[in-house]
Amino acid sequence: MSDVIDHASGLEAQFTQVALANHLARAKQNEQRESAKDCEECGDPIPEQRRQKVPGCQYCTQCQSSRE
């Protein structure tokens, strides 16, 4: 039984590492593009302060929170 749990724990760690690497790669990609002026989800304007503090943002704060 312990071997099965150890194996599952190892797989979970691997999946977590891959998910984190993918997340970091997407974040880096987003930082390289220009922030949107209007939210891609709801169409509301994205405040200039958010556009400057979150490089490459494409969503307003509310829509980004919903996506996460």
Q: DSSP readout, 4-26?
A: HHHHHHHHHHHHHHHHHHHHHHH
Domain range list for the chain:
1-32, 34-68
Question: Which amino acid does the sequence have at 45?
Answer: P
| Residue 2 confidence (pLDDT) above 80 | no
Tracing tokens 């503090």 back to the chain, one arrives at 53
This prediction has a pTM of 0.53
Report pLDDT digits (tens) over 19-64: 999 888 877 765 667 899 999 999 999 999 999 998 889 999 999 9
Of 29 and 16, which is predicted with more confidence? 16
pLDDT at residue 23, as a whole number = 84
| Contact (Cβ atoms closer than 8 angstroms) between residue 51 and residue 37 | yes
